[in-house]
Structure 1
Protein backbone atom coordinates (compact mmCIF):
# COMPACT_ATOMS: atom_id res chain seq x y z
CA UNK A 1 0.00 0.00 0.00
CA UNK A 2 1.13 3.58 -0.59
CA UNK A 3 -0.26 7.08 -0.86
CA UNK A 4 -0.66 9.04 -4.11
CA UNK A 5 1.58 6.87 -6.36
CA UNK A 6 2.46 3.20 -6.83
CA UNK A 7 4.07 0.81 -9.32
CA UNK A 8 1.12 1.17 -11.70
CA UNK A 9 1.20 4.99 -11.89
CA UNK A 10 1.80 6.44 -15.36
CA UNK A 11 3.84 9.66 -15.46
CA UNK A 12 4.45 12.50 -17.93
CA UNK A 13 7.57 14.70 -17.69
CA UNK A 14 6.95 18.35 -18.62
CA UNK A 15 10.26 19.84 -19.73
CA UNK A 16 11.55 16.48 -20.96
CA UNK A 17 13.98 17.91 -23.51
CA UNK A 18 15.80 20.14 -21.02
CA UNK A 19 19.00 19.00 -19.34
CA UNK A 20 17.45 18.81 -15.84
CA UNK A 21 14.29 17.07 -17.06
CA UNK A 22 16.28 14.46 -18.95
CA UNK A 23 18.72 13.81 -16.10
CA UNK A 24 16.06 13.19 -13.45
CA UNK A 25 13.65 11.37 -15.76
CA UNK A 26 16.45 8.91 -16.59
CA UNK A 27 17.14 8.27 -12.89
CA UNK A 28 13.43 7.87 -12.13
CA UNK A 29 13.02 5.56 -15.12
CA UNK A 30 15.88 3.40 -13.82
CA UNK A 31 14.42 3.16 -10.29
CA UNK A 32 12.25 0.12 -9.45
CA UNK A 33 9.28 0.01 -11.86
CA UNK A 34 10.15 3.35 -13.48
CA UNK A 35 10.60 1.92 -16.98
CA UNK A 36 6.89 1.07 -17.02
CA UNK A 37 5.78 4.24 -15.18
CA UNK A 38 7.42 7.01 -17.23
CA UNK A 39 5.42 6.93 -20.44
CA UNK A 40 5.68 10.39 -22.05
CA UNK A 41 7.40 13.75 -22.17
CA UNK A 42 5.96 17.14 -23.11
CA UNK A 43 7.84 19.97 -24.82
CA UNK A 44 5.99 22.31 -27.18
CA UNK A 45 7.28 21.97 -30.75
CA UNK A 46 9.15 18.71 -30.07
CA UNK A 47 6.36 16.21 -30.83
CA UNK A 48 7.61 13.08 -32.60
CA UNK A 49 10.97 13.06 -30.84
CA UNK A 50 11.83 10.66 -28.01
CA UNK A 51 14.26 10.37 -25.11
CA UNK A 52 15.45 7.03 -23.73
CA UNK A 53 12.55 5.40 -25.58
CA UNK A 54 9.99 7.79 -24.06
CA UNK A 55 7.88 9.59 -26.71
CA UNK A 56 7.58 13.39 -26.60
CA UNK A 57 4.35 15.28 -27.29
CA UNK A 58 3.50 18.95 -27.81
CA UNK A 59 0.83 19.15 -25.09
CA UNK A 60 -0.20 17.43 -21.87
CA UNK A 61 -3.66 16.75 -23.31
CA UNK A 62 -2.11 14.88 -26.24
CA UNK A 63 0.30 12.95 -24.00
CA UNK A 64 -2.48 11.93 -21.63
CA UNK A 65 -4.75 10.85 -24.47
CA UNK A 66 -2.05 8.69 -26.07
CA UNK A 67 -0.63 7.09 -22.90
CA UNK A 68 -3.34 7.18 -20.23
CA UNK A 69 -1.00 8.97 -17.81
CA UNK A 70 -2.55 10.49 -14.69
CA UNK A 71 0.49 12.20 -13.09
CA UNK A 72 2.79 14.93 -14.36
CA UNK A 73 6.19 16.08 -13.06
CA UNK A 74 7.47 19.53 -14.01
CA UNK A 75 11.09 20.57 -14.65
CA UNK A 76 10.18 23.72 -16.58
CA UNK A 77 12.21 26.94 -15.92
CA UNK A 78 10.66 29.35 -13.36
CA UNK A 79 9.25 31.89 -15.83
CA UNK A 80 7.07 29.22 -17.51
CA UNK A 81 6.53 26.70 -14.69
CA UNK A 82 3.21 28.09 -13.41
CA UNK A 83 1.83 27.92 -16.96
CA UNK A 84 2.99 24.29 -17.09
CA UNK A 85 1.01 23.58 -13.90
CA UNK A 86 -2.02 25.32 -15.45
CA UNK A 87 -1.74 23.10 -18.52
CA UNK A 88 -1.79 19.92 -16.44
CA UNK A 89 -4.73 21.16 -14.37
CA UNK A 90 -6.68 21.97 -17.54
CA UNK A 91 -5.82 18.47 -18.86
CA UNK A 92 -7.37 17.08 -15.64
CA UNK A 93 -4.28 15.27 -14.46
CA UNK A 94 -4.88 13.70 -11.03
CA UNK A 95 -1.54 14.78 -9.53
CA UNK A 96 1.08 17.36 -10.53
CA UNK A 97 4.54 17.47 -8.92
CA UNK A 98 6.39 20.73 -9.60
CA UNK A 99 10.12 20.51 -8.84
CA UNK A 100 10.96 24.01 -10.15
CA UNK A 101 12.39 26.53 -7.68
CA UNK A 102 12.05 30.30 -8.03
CA UNK A 103 8.56 30.60 -9.54
CA UNK A 104 7.34 34.20 -9.02
CA UNK A 105 4.84 34.36 -6.14
CA UNK A 106 2.40 36.32 -8.29
CA UNK A 107 2.40 33.51 -10.88
CA UNK A 108 1.62 30.91 -8.20
CA UNK A 109 -1.18 33.07 -6.73
CA UNK A 110 -2.82 33.13 -10.16
CA UNK A 111 -2.31 29.38 -10.62
CA UNK A 112 -3.75 28.49 -7.20
CA UNK A 113 -6.77 30.67 -7.96
CA UNK A 114 -7.31 28.83 -11.26
CA UNK A 115 -7.06 25.48 -9.44
CA UNK A 116 -10.08 26.20 -7.22
CA UNK A 117 -12.76 23.59 -7.80
CA UNK A 118 -10.48 21.44 -9.95
CA UNK A 119 -9.70 17.81 -9.14
CA UNK A 120 -5.91 18.07 -9.63
CA UNK A 121 -3.67 17.75 -6.56
CA UNK A 122 -0.42 19.73 -6.57
CA UNK A 123 2.83 18.91 -4.76
CA UNK A 124 5.36 21.75 -4.74
CA UNK A 125 6.65 23.87 -6.31
CA UNK A 126 10.25 23.96 -5.06
CA UNK A 127 10.05 20.38 -3.79
CA UNK A 128 12.04 17.15 -4.19
CA UNK A 129 8.96 15.12 -5.20
CA UNK A 130 7.76 11.86 -3.70
CA UNK A 131 8.61 8.19 -3.62
CA UNK A 132 7.02 4.86 -2.81
CA UNK A 133 10.14 2.77 -2.11
CA UNK A 134 10.83 -0.19 -4.40
CA UNK A 135 7.91 0.87 -6.63
CA UNK A 136 8.31 4.37 -8.10
CA UNK A 137 10.02 7.70 -7.50
CA UNK A 138 8.99 10.99 -9.07
CA UNK A 139 11.44 13.82 -8.54
CA UNK A 140 15.02 14.39 -7.48
CA UNK A 141 15.42 12.37 -4.26
CA UNK A 142 18.22 9.75 -4.11
CA UNK A 143 16.43 6.43 -4.52
CA UNK A 144 19.16 4.25 -3.00
CA UNK A 145 18.62 5.52 0.58
CA UNK A 146 15.00 4.39 0.69
CA UNK A 147 13.72 1.00 1.84
CA UNK A 148 10.20 -0.37 1.68
CA UNK A 149 8.51 -0.35 5.07
CA UNK A 150 5.80 1.15 7.24
CA UNK A 151 6.95 4.67 8.22
CA UNK A 152 5.56 7.68 6.35
CA UNK A 153 7.62 10.84 5.86
CA UNK A 154 6.28 14.32 5.03
CA UNK A 155 8.60 17.31 4.88
CA UNK A 156 8.84 20.94 3.75
CA UNK A 157 12.62 20.60 3.47
CA UNK A 158 14.13 18.59 0.64
CA UNK A 159 17.46 17.87 2.31
CA UNK A 160 15.86 16.98 5.65
CA UNK A 161 13.54 14.56 3.85
CA UNK A 162 16.63 12.65 2.79
CA UNK A 163 18.14 12.96 6.27
CA UNK A 164 15.03 11.53 7.95
CA UNK A 165 14.86 8.68 5.42
CA UNK A 166 18.54 7.83 5.80
CA UNK A 167 18.26 7.71 9.59
CA UNK A 168 15.18 5.46 9.40
CA UNK A 169 16.82 3.13 6.88
CA UNK A 170 20.02 2.88 8.95
CA UNK A 171 17.94 1.87 11.97
CA UNK A 172 16.09 -0.77 9.97
CA UNK A 173 12.84 1.14 9.44
CA UNK A 174 11.59 1.19 5.86
CA UNK A 175 9.19 3.80 4.51
CA UNK A 176 5.67 3.41 3.10
CA UNK A 177 5.80 6.69 1.15
CA UNK A 178 7.85 9.89 1.44
CA UNK A 179 6.44 13.25 0.31
CA UNK A 180 8.43 16.46 -0.03
CA UNK A 181 5.80 19.21 -0.12
CA UNK A 182 8.19 22.10 -0.80
CA UNK A 183 8.95 25.33 0.99
CA UNK A 184 7.43 28.08 -1.13
CA UNK A 185 4.86 30.44 0.46
CA UNK A 186 2.22 29.52 -2.17
CA UNK A 187 2.19 25.78 -2.78
CA UNK A 188 -0.07 22.78 -3.16
CA UNK A 189 -0.59 20.00 -0.62
CA UNK A 190 0.19 20.89 3.01
CA UNK A 191 1.38 18.74 5.91
CA UNK A 192 -2.26 18.25 6.90
CA UNK A 193 -3.32 16.91 3.48
CA UNK A 194 -0.53 14.32 3.48
CA UNK A 195 -1.05 13.42 7.16
CA UNK A 196 -4.70 12.57 6.46
CA UNK A 197 -3.59 10.17 3.72
CA UNK A 198 -1.07 8.49 6.04
CA UNK A 199 -3.70 8.19 8.77
CA UNK A 200 -5.99 6.35 6.34
CA UNK A 201 -3.24 4.11 4.93
CA UNK A 202 -3.41 0.67 6.61
CA UNK A 203 0.25 -0.01 5.83
CA UNK A 204 1.66 3.12 7.48
CA UNK A 205 2.32 2.62 11.21
CA UNK A 206 3.88 5.99 12.12
CA UNK A 207 4.92 9.28 10.49
CA UNK A 208 7.95 11.60 10.58
CA UNK A 209 6.83 15.21 10.03
CA UNK A 210 9.52 17.78 9.19
CA UNK A 211 8.61 21.44 9.16
CA UNK A 212 10.33 24.80 8.84
CA UNK A 213 9.97 28.30 10.22
CA UNK A 214 7.37 30.50 8.55
CA UNK A 215 3.61 30.29 8.18
CA UNK A 216 1.29 28.25 10.38
CA UNK A 217 0.83 24.99 8.44
CA UNK A 218 2.62 22.86 11.03
CA UNK A 219 0.46 24.20 13.87
CA UNK A 220 -2.73 23.55 11.89
CA UNK A 221 -1.58 20.00 11.18
CA UNK A 222 -0.61 19.45 14.83
CA UNK A 223 -4.08 20.45 16.05
CA UNK A 224 -5.66 18.03 13.58
CA UNK A 225 -3.28 15.28 14.77
CA UNK A 226 -4.34 15.85 18.37
CA UNK A 227 -8.01 15.34 17.49
CA UNK A 228 -7.81 12.71 14.75
CA UNK A 229 -4.47 10.94 14.24
CA UNK A 230 -4.45 7.27 15.20
CA UNK A 231 -0.72 6.77 14.67
CA UNK A 232 2.36 8.18 16.43
CA UNK A 233 4.06 11.19 14.85
CA UNK A 234 7.68 12.32 15.32
CA UNK A 235 8.25 16.01 14.55
CA UNK A 236 11.15 18.35 13.86
CA UNK A 237 11.19 22.06 12.87
CA UNK A 238 14.17 23.50 10.99
CA UNK A 239 15.28 27.04 11.77
CA UNK A 240 15.53 27.21 15.57
CA UNK A 241 18.36 29.76 15.34
CA UNK A 242 16.85 31.85 12.52
CA UNK A 243 16.51 35.59 13.23
CA UNK A 244 13.13 37.29 12.75
CA UNK A 245 12.56 38.90 9.36
CA UNK A 246 15.42 37.09 7.58
CA UNK A 247 14.53 34.52 4.95
CA UNK A 248 16.35 31.21 5.51
CA UNK A 249 16.64 28.91 2.50
CA UNK A 250 13.12 28.44 1.18
CA UNK A 251 11.06 31.43 0.11
CA UNK A 252 8.45 30.58 2.74
CA UNK A 253 10.94 30.15 5.58
CA UNK A 254 10.66 33.54 7.25
CA UNK A 255 9.48 34.59 10.70
CA UNK A 256 7.28 37.66 10.27
CA UNK A 257 5.02 39.58 12.61
CA UNK A 258 6.27 37.50 15.51
CA UNK A 259 4.73 34.36 14.02
CA UNK A 260 6.23 31.26 12.43
CA UNK A 261 9.15 30.75 14.82
CA UNK A 262 10.55 27.27 15.39
CA UNK A 263 10.11 27.23 19.18
CA UNK A 264 6.48 28.32 18.91
CA UNK A 265 5.78 25.60 16.35
CA UNK A 266 7.52 22.95 18.47
CA UNK A 267 5.53 24.01 21.54
CA UNK A 268 2.22 23.56 19.71
CA UNK A 269 3.34 20.23 18.27
CA UNK A 270 4.41 18.93 21.68
CA UNK A 271 1.18 20.13 23.26
CA UNK A 272 -0.73 18.19 20.58
CA UNK A 273 1.01 14.90 21.38
CA UNK A 274 3.68 14.89 18.67
CA UNK A 275 7.02 13.41 19.79
CA UNK A 276 9.35 16.31 19.01
CA UNK A 277 13.11 16.52 18.74
CA UNK A 278 15.16 19.71 18.47
CA UNK A 279 18.10 17.84 16.94
CA UNK A 280 17.82 16.85 13.25
CA UNK A 281 20.28 14.00 13.88
CA UNK A 282 17.81 12.38 16.33
CA UNK A 283 14.71 11.96 14.13
CA UNK A 284 15.32 8.27 13.49
CA UNK A 285 16.28 7.53 17.10
CA UNK A 286 13.14 9.29 18.32
CA UNK A 287 11.01 7.15 16.03
CA UNK A 288 12.72 4.00 17.30
CA UNK A 289 12.06 5.09 20.88
CA UNK A 290 8.39 5.83 20.14
CA UNK A 291 7.79 2.50 18.41
CA UNK A 292 9.44 0.59 21.25
CA UNK A 293 6.89 2.19 23.56
Structure 2
Protein backbone atom coordinates (compact mmCIF):
# COMPACT_ATOMS: atom_id res chain seq x y z
CA UNK A 1 0.00 0.00 0.00
CA UNK A 2 1.32 3.44 -0.89
CA UNK A 3 2.14 5.64 2.11
CA UNK A 4 -0.29 8.40 1.03
CA UNK A 5 -3.17 5.91 0.84
CA UNK A 6 -2.31 4.52 4.26
CA UNK A 7 -2.09 7.95 5.84
CA UNK A 8 -5.45 9.06 4.49
CA UNK A 9 -7.06 6.05 6.12
CA UNK A 10 -5.72 6.82 9.56
CA UNK A 11 -8.15 9.47 10.71
CA UNK A 12 -8.27 11.39 13.97
CA UNK A 13 -11.90 12.42 14.00
CA UNK A 14 -12.04 14.34 10.72
CA UNK A 15 -8.30 15.04 10.79
CA UNK A 16 -5.70 12.63 9.39
CA UNK A 17 -2.74 11.62 11.56
CA UNK A 18 0.31 11.09 9.34
CA UNK A 19 2.56 9.31 11.80
CA UNK A 20 0.00 6.79 13.00
CA UNK A 21 1.81 3.70 11.74
CA UNK A 22 5.26 5.06 12.50
CA UNK A 23 4.41 6.14 16.04
CA UNK A 24 1.94 3.44 17.01
CA UNK A 25 -1.09 5.76 17.25
CA UNK A 26 -4.55 4.25 17.23
CA UNK A 27 -6.05 4.09 13.75
CA UNK A 28 -9.17 6.00 14.68
CA UNK A 29 -10.36 8.25 17.47
CA UNK A 30 -13.70 9.62 18.53
CA UNK A 31 -14.74 13.01 17.19
CA UNK A 32 -13.25 15.76 19.29
CA UNK A 33 -10.11 13.78 20.14
CA UNK A 34 -7.18 15.03 18.10
CA UNK A 35 -3.63 16.32 18.14
CA UNK A 36 -2.40 19.89 18.26
CA UNK A 37 0.94 21.30 17.16
CA UNK A 38 2.57 24.11 19.09
CA UNK A 39 5.42 26.53 18.43
CA UNK A 40 7.13 26.64 21.82
CA UNK A 41 9.79 29.32 21.98
CA UNK A 42 11.70 28.59 25.22
CA UNK A 43 12.90 25.16 24.08
CA UNK A 44 12.42 26.45 20.50
CA UNK A 45 10.65 23.34 19.30
CA UNK A 46 7.55 22.40 17.39
CA UNK A 47 5.80 20.06 19.82
CA UNK A 48 2.76 17.95 18.90
CA UNK A 49 0.51 16.62 21.66
CA UNK A 50 -2.74 14.71 22.02
CA UNK A 51 -4.95 17.52 23.32
CA UNK A 52 -6.55 15.06 25.77
CA UNK A 53 -3.26 14.34 27.56
CA UNK A 54 -0.83 16.39 29.63
CA UNK A 55 1.64 18.41 27.56
CA UNK A 56 4.60 16.54 29.03
CA UNK A 57 7.81 15.29 27.44
CA UNK A 58 6.51 11.73 27.69
CA UNK A 59 3.45 12.68 25.61
CA UNK A 60 5.25 14.41 22.71
CA UNK A 61 3.83 12.83 19.54
CA UNK A 62 6.21 14.54 17.06
CA UNK A 63 8.76 17.32 17.32
CA UNK A 64 11.16 19.58 15.47
CA UNK A 65 14.09 21.13 17.37
CA UNK A 66 15.19 24.38 15.74
CA UNK A 67 18.22 25.21 17.86
CA UNK A 68 18.99 28.95 17.95
CA UNK A 69 20.57 31.75 15.94
CA UNK A 70 18.57 32.48 12.81
CA UNK A 71 16.19 29.69 13.86
CA UNK A 72 15.30 31.37 17.17
CA UNK A 73 11.69 32.04 18.22
CA UNK A 74 9.69 29.65 16.06
CA UNK A 75 6.66 31.58 14.83
CA UNK A 76 4.60 29.29 12.59
CA UNK A 77 4.08 25.69 11.50
CA UNK A 78 1.77 24.13 8.90
CA UNK A 79 1.41 20.53 7.77
CA UNK A 80 0.80 19.68 4.13
CA UNK A 81 0.65 16.47 2.10
CA UNK A 82 2.81 16.05 -1.01
CA UNK A 83 2.83 13.34 -3.65
CA UNK A 84 6.56 12.67 -3.39
CA UNK A 85 7.30 13.11 0.32
CA UNK A 86 4.00 12.40 2.08
CA UNK A 87 3.39 14.80 4.96
CA UNK A 88 5.76 17.73 5.44
CA UNK A 89 6.00 20.47 8.07
CA UNK A 90 6.59 24.06 6.94
CA UNK A 91 8.04 26.32 9.62
CA UNK A 92 9.14 29.91 10.18
CA UNK A 93 11.30 31.51 12.87
CA UNK A 94 11.46 35.17 13.83
CA UNK A 95 15.24 34.81 13.88
CA UNK A 96 15.08 34.86 10.10
CA UNK A 97 14.84 31.31 8.75
CA UNK A 98 12.09 29.28 7.14
CA UNK A 99 12.22 25.60 6.24
CA UNK A 100 10.55 22.30 5.43
CA UNK A 101 11.05 18.91 7.08
CA UNK A 102 9.54 15.50 6.35
CA UNK A 103 7.08 14.47 9.08
CA UNK A 104 6.64 10.76 8.41
CA UNK A 105 10.26 9.62 8.61
CA UNK A 106 11.15 10.28 12.27
CA UNK A 107 9.41 11.08 15.54
CA UNK A 108 11.96 13.71 16.59
CA UNK A 109 13.56 15.92 13.94
CA UNK A 110 15.91 18.89 13.83
CA UNK A 111 17.62 21.28 11.45
CA UNK A 112 19.79 18.45 10.14
CA UNK A 113 16.61 16.88 8.70
CA UNK A 114 15.54 19.94 6.70
CA UNK A 115 14.70 19.31 3.05
CA UNK A 116 14.84 23.05 2.27
CA UNK A 117 15.57 26.30 4.07
CA UNK A 118 15.79 30.00 3.17
CA UNK A 119 16.11 33.45 4.75
CA UNK A 120 13.35 35.77 3.44
CA UNK A 121 14.21 38.55 5.90
CA UNK A 122 11.95 40.85 7.87
CA UNK A 123 10.88 38.60 10.77
CA UNK A 124 9.18 35.62 9.02
CA UNK A 125 5.81 35.03 10.68
CA UNK A 126 3.90 32.57 8.48
CA UNK A 127 4.35 30.11 5.64
CA UNK A 128 2.13 28.26 3.15
CA UNK A 129 2.48 25.78 0.27
CA UNK A 130 0.46 26.01 -2.94
CA UNK A 131 -0.86 22.50 -3.75
CA UNK A 132 0.00 20.93 -7.14
CA UNK A 133 2.08 24.02 -7.97
CA UNK A 134 4.60 23.23 -5.24
CA UNK A 135 5.44 26.88 -4.55
CA UNK A 136 5.89 28.28 -1.04
CA UNK A 137 4.87 31.74 0.21
CA UNK A 138 6.30 33.37 3.34
CA UNK A 139 4.82 36.39 5.16
CA UNK A 140 7.38 38.66 6.85
CA UNK A 141 6.11 41.24 9.33
CA UNK A 142 8.50 43.87 7.94
CA UNK A 143 5.96 44.16 5.14
CA UNK A 144 6.29 41.63 2.35
CA UNK A 145 5.37 38.21 0.97
CA UNK A 146 8.17 36.15 -0.55
CA UNK A 147 7.38 33.54 -3.21
CA UNK A 148 9.65 30.52 -3.64
CA UNK A 149 9.04 28.30 -6.68
CA UNK A 150 10.52 24.90 -7.60
CA UNK A 151 12.25 23.81 -10.77
CA UNK A 152 10.68 20.41 -10.03
CA UNK A 153 7.51 20.09 -7.93
CA UNK A 154 8.68 16.76 -6.51
CA UNK A 155 12.01 18.19 -5.27
CA UNK A 156 11.61 20.44 -2.23
CA UNK A 157 15.27 21.40 -2.40
CA UNK A 158 14.74 23.04 -5.80
CA UNK A 159 12.69 25.92 -4.31
CA UNK A 160 14.17 29.33 -5.14
CA UNK A 161 13.01 32.93 -4.64
CA UNK A 162 11.07 34.28 -7.63
CA UNK A 163 8.98 37.22 -6.31
CA UNK A 164 8.50 39.69 -3.48
CA UNK A 165 5.07 41.28 -2.94
CA UNK A 166 4.58 44.24 -0.61
CA UNK A 167 2.03 43.87 2.19
CA UNK A 168 2.48 46.14 5.24
CA UNK A 169 2.50 44.18 8.49
CA UNK A 170 2.33 40.77 6.76
CA UNK A 171 1.67 38.16 9.44
CA UNK A 172 -0.30 35.24 7.97
CA UNK A 173 -0.84 33.30 4.73
CA UNK A 174 -3.37 30.59 3.88
CA UNK A 175 -4.28 28.81 0.64
CA UNK A 176 -8.04 28.35 0.16
CA UNK A 177 -8.98 25.57 -2.31
CA UNK A 178 -12.61 26.78 -2.45
CA UNK A 179 -11.79 30.26 -3.73
CA UNK A 180 -8.48 29.13 -5.26
CA UNK A 181 -6.83 32.16 -3.69
CA UNK A 182 -3.87 32.65 -1.41
CA UNK A 183 -5.10 34.83 1.46
CA UNK A 184 -2.69 37.02 3.43
CA UNK A 185 -3.29 39.13 6.52
CA UNK A 186 -1.43 42.37 7.20
CA UNK A 187 -2.07 45.76 8.73
CA UNK A 188 -5.83 46.33 8.66
CA UNK A 189 -6.56 44.02 5.76
CA UNK A 190 -6.92 40.43 4.55
CA UNK A 191 -6.20 40.20 0.80
CA UNK A 192 -6.69 37.41 -1.72
CA UNK A 193 -4.06 36.66 -4.37
CA UNK A 194 -4.30 34.53 -7.49
CA UNK A 195 -1.44 32.21 -8.33
CA UNK A 196 -0.27 32.25 -11.96
CA UNK A 197 2.26 30.15 -13.81
CA UNK A 198 4.19 27.07 -12.78
CA UNK A 199 7.70 26.16 -11.70
CA UNK A 200 9.99 29.21 -11.74
CA UNK A 201 7.39 31.29 -13.63
CA UNK A 202 5.01 31.21 -10.62
CA UNK A 203 3.76 34.66 -9.58
CA UNK A 204 1.15 36.13 -7.21
CA UNK A 205 -1.30 38.83 -8.32
CA UNK A 206 -3.83 40.70 -6.20
CA UNK A 207 -7.31 39.35 -7.04
CA UNK A 208 -9.25 42.46 -6.02
CA UNK A 209 -10.89 40.56 -3.16
CA UNK A 210 -10.24 41.70 0.39
CA UNK A 211 -11.80 42.58 3.73
CA UNK A 212 -10.88 45.60 5.85
CA UNK A 213 -10.17 45.19 9.56
CA UNK A 214 -9.48 48.89 10.27
CA UNK A 215 -6.32 50.86 9.58
CA UNK A 216 -5.05 50.65 13.19
CA UNK A 217 -5.82 46.94 13.49
CA UNK A 218 -2.69 44.86 12.85
CA UNK A 219 -3.66 41.43 11.59
CA UNK A 220 -1.94 38.52 13.23
CA UNK A 221 -3.05 34.93 12.64
CA UNK A 222 -4.99 33.48 9.69
CA UNK A 223 -6.28 29.91 9.82
CA UNK A 224 -8.92 27.62 8.30
CA UNK A 225 -12.11 26.81 10.16
CA UNK A 226 -12.24 23.01 9.89
CA UNK A 227 -15.94 23.05 10.77
CA UNK A 228 -16.84 25.26 7.76
CA UNK A 229 -14.94 25.23 4.46
CA UNK A 230 -16.37 28.66 3.57
CA UNK A 231 -14.89 30.36 6.62
CA UNK A 232 -11.46 31.49 7.78
CA UNK A 233 -10.48 32.64 11.26
CA UNK A 234 -8.18 35.55 11.96
CA UNK A 235 -6.89 37.47 14.94
CA UNK A 236 -5.79 41.10 15.12
CA UNK A 237 -4.97 43.83 17.62
CA UNK A 238 -8.62 44.58 18.44
CA UNK A 239 -10.12 41.10 18.48
CA UNK A 240 -10.86 37.88 16.64
CA UNK A 241 -12.75 37.64 13.34
CA UNK A 242 -14.56 35.21 11.06
CA UNK A 243 -14.18 35.73 7.31
CA UNK A 244 -16.86 34.23 5.08
CA UNK A 245 -16.14 33.26 1.45
CA UNK A 246 -19.54 31.65 0.81
CA UNK A 247 -20.99 32.14 -2.66
CA UNK A 248 -17.84 33.80 -3.94
CA UNK A 249 -18.43 36.86 -1.75
CA UNK A 250 -16.03 37.89 0.98
CA UNK A 251 -17.21 39.42 4.25
CA UNK A 252 -15.93 39.73 7.80
CA UNK A 253 -17.63 39.45 11.20
CA UNK A 254 -16.03 40.35 14.50
CA UNK A 255 -16.30 37.30 16.74
CA UNK A 256 -14.85 38.79 19.92
CA UNK A 257 -13.05 41.84 21.30
CA UNK A 258 -10.49 39.70 23.08
CA UNK A 259 -7.01 41.14 22.58
CA UNK A 260 -3.54 39.51 22.43
CA UNK A 261 -4.83 36.31 20.78
CA UNK A 262 -1.78 34.99 18.95
CA UNK A 263 -3.32 31.85 17.47
CA UNK A 264 -6.87 30.66 16.84
CA UNK A 265 -8.05 27.42 15.21
CA UNK A 266 -11.33 25.53 15.11
CA UNK A 267 -11.47 21.73 14.90
CA UNK A 268 -14.15 19.96 12.84
CA UNK A 269 -15.92 19.10 16.12
CA UNK A 270 -16.42 22.84 16.71
CA UNK A 271 -13.87 23.14 19.50
CA UNK A 272 -11.61 26.19 19.31
CA UNK A 273 -7.91 26.04 20.20
CA UNK A 274 -6.03 29.24 20.96
CA UNK A 275 -3.07 30.95 22.57
CA UNK A 276 -3.41 34.35 24.25
CA UNK A 277 -0.31 36.30 25.21
CA UNK A 278 -0.02 36.77 28.98
CA UNK A 279 2.23 39.87 28.92
CA UNK A 280 4.61 38.20 31.36
CA UNK A 281 8.26 37.23 31.39
CA UNK A 282 10.85 37.69 28.66
CA UNK A 283 8.39 36.74 25.93
CA UNK A 284 5.35 38.88 26.65
CA UNK A 285 3.83 37.70 23.37
CA UNK A 286 3.64 34.04 24.52
CA UNK A 287 1.88 31.93 27.14
CA UNK A 288 2.49 28.57 28.84
CA UNK A 289 -1.17 27.67 28.24
CA UNK A 290 -3.03 26.36 25.22
CA UNK A 291 -6.74 27.09 25.60
CA UNK A 292 -9.47 24.65 24.50
CA UNK A 293 -13.12 25.71 24.38
CA UNK A 294 -14.65 22.31 25.19
CA UNK A 295 -11.83 20.59 27.09
CA UNK A 296 -9.46 21.42 29.95
CA UNK A 297 -6.77 23.93 29.04
CA UNK A 298 -3.25 22.53 28.77
CA UNK A 299 -0.36 24.28 30.57
CA UNK A 300 3.30 23.32 30.23
CA UNK A 301 5.42 24.77 33.01
CA UNK A 302 8.17 27.09 31.76
CA UNK A 303 6.88 27.07 28.19
CA UNK A 304 6.07 30.04 25.97
CA UNK A 305 3.63 28.93 23.29
CA UNK A 306 3.27 31.39 20.43
CA UNK A 307 1.26 29.47 17.84
CA UNK A 308 -0.99 26.43 18.01
CA UNK A 309 -2.34 24.44 15.06
CA UNK A 310 -4.65 21.52 14.43
CA UNK A 311 -2.51 18.51 13.44
CA UNK A 312 -3.85 18.21 9.91
CA UNK A 313 -2.67 18.51 6.32
CA UNK A 314 -6.06 19.80 5.18
CA UNK A 315 -6.28 23.32 3.80
CA UNK A 316 -9.90 23.78 4.90
Q: TM-score, normalised by structure 1?
A: 0.27
The structure in which a higher percent of residues are strand is 2
Q: TM-score, normalised by structure 2?
A: 0.25
The structure in which a higher percent of residues are helix is 1
